């Protein structure tokens, strides 16, 4: 280890969830490798990729866990929510059922993830304009009432993919760094030389405090 790839100031774990076939894996490969395959293997269990971004001159390493969407894998994938500070809840703007199921996914997160995990609702496949079945405004309103941020993306033409990840990571970063300004760090910022295992609980802690006040 010890390559440049591993030098970072913060490490955030983010999960991608949502129904099968809404494009979670495509979003991930678009963001981490800038690739798009119209046809790729369905995700079994959980897959994983990382990418680092810069915010305020700090390097943030995003560890993104991509999960299987099929109902029967839910018990397995929910085990991966542990320690995640952010979640992208993806639906397909052309498939109404995938939008209806958003509520169920939220419940999953409530049940298995840290209670203050940041959630972004992502309407993917925005390139399919003529097939759209969920109006942007409707989803936006739903996101607002449920305290989620919201964005529409297209992994195919890469619209908004960067901003989606940037936004959620930046938001997490803000909360974590504000917490640090208020409470001087007690080794809770995770740098490569520090104990990275501490990050997740501490980041989650700070998120919780932030949200409660």
Partner 1 sequence: MWVKPQEVFLKTALWDCDETTLYFVLQRRKGHGKSKGLSSLLVGTLDSVRDTKPAPYRILHQTPNSEIYYVIATALTEQEIKQDWQWLFENVSPTLHSFDTEEEITEFVCCKINSLIATEQESFTEDEDTINYKNVDYNFHQRFGMPKDEKLVCYYSCSYWKGKMPRQGWLYLSMHYMCFYSYIFGRNTTLKIRWADVTELVKTNSLLFPDSITVVTRDGEHYFTMLLKKDETFALMQQLANIAMKQLIDDKTGNYNIDKDLLTKLSKNVPKKASFLKRDLDAKKQSNLYTLRFRLPQVEKLDGTEECTLWTPYNKRHNWGRMYLSQNFICFDSRVANLVRLIIPLRNVYQVEKADSGGTGSSGESGSILITTSYHTSFLFGNISDRDFIVHKISELLAKLPNRGGHRVEGEWTPQPPLMTLFKTHQTSSIKQIQQKKEKQWEDHMAEVGRGVSMYRTTEGSELVVKGIPESLRGELWSVFSGSILQKIQSKGLYEKLVNEALSSKNQANDEIERDLHRSLPEHPAFQNDVGISALRRVLCAYALKNPTIGYCQAMNIVASVLLIYCPEEQAFWLLATICETLLPDYYNTRVVGALVDQGVLEELTKSQLPDLHAKLDELGMMKMISLSWFLTLFISVMPYECAVNVMDCFFYDGAKVIFQVTLTILDVNKEKLLKSTEDGQAVQILTDYLEGIFNDEAMALSTEPRTAQKTIKIQELVYQSYRMYGANVSSECIEHLRLKHRLRVVRHLEDSLEKNTLRALQQDKLLDANELQELLSVIREELFWAKRVPAERLEAPYEAYRVDYAQFKTIYMALSPWAKGDYAEAITARIFKLMDHDDDGLVSARGLSLAIGLSTRAEAQKRLRALYCAHAPPLLSNLELRSAQFTEVEELADDAISFFDSIDRPSESIQRSVSDVGEGQMDKSTDSTYTPDEALAAEAIRVCALGLPPGASPGTPPPPSPPPALPRPHFLRLLAALHDLTQYSTPLYEAVARAETLLLQLGELRHRPNLDREMSQDSLYLAAAAQPSALEPDRNGNLEEACAQPSPSKDEKDPTEDWSITLEQFLATMLAEADLEEFFSKQVSILPQLEALRQRDRLQYVS
State the residues that interact with partner 1 by CB under 8 A. 1, 11, 13, 20-21, 37, 39-48, 50, 63, 68, 70-73, 75-76, 79-80, 82-83, 99-104, 107, 111, 134, 138-139, 142, 146, 195-197
The half-sphere exposure of 124 on its side-chain side, counting CA atoms within 13 A, is 28
Q: Cβ of residue 120: shortest distance to partner 1, in angstroms?
A: 15
Q: Which is nearer to partner 1, 192 or 209 (CB)?
A: 192
Q: Which is nearer to partner 1, 150 or 173 (CB)?
A: 150
Q: Which is nearer to partner 1, 139 or 161 (CB)?
A: 139
Q: Cβ of residue 213: shortest distance to partner 1, in angstroms?
A: 26
Q: Which is nearer to partner 1, 44 or 211 (CB)?
A: 44
């Amino acid at each position: 280890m010890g390559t440049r790839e591993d030098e970072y100031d913060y490490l955030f774990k983010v999960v991608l969830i949502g129904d099968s076939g809404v494009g979670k894996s495509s979003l991930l490969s678009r963001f981490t490798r800038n690739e798009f395959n119209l046809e790729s293997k369905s995700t079994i269990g959980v897959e994983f990729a990382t990418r680092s971004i810069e915010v305020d001159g700090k390097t943030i390493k995003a560890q993104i866990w991509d999960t299987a969407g099929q109902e029967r894998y839910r018990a397995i994938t929910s085990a991966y929510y542990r320690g995640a500070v952010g979640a992208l809840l993806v639906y397909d703007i052309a498939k109404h059922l995938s939008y209806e199921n958003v509520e169920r996914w939220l419940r999953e997160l409530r049940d298995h993830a840290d209670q203050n995990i940041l959630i972004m609702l992502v309407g993917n496949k925005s390139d399919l304009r003529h097939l759209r079945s969920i109006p942007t405004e409707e989803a936006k309103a739903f996101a607002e009432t449920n305290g989620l941020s919201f964005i529409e993306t297209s992994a195919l033409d890469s619209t908004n993919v960067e901003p989606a990840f940037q936004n959620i990571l930046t938001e997490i970063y803000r909360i974590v760094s504000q917490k640090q300004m208020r409470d001087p760090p007690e080794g809770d910022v995770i740098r490569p030389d520090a104990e990275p295992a501490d990050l997740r609980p501490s980041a989650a802690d700070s998120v919780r405090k932030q949200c409660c006040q």
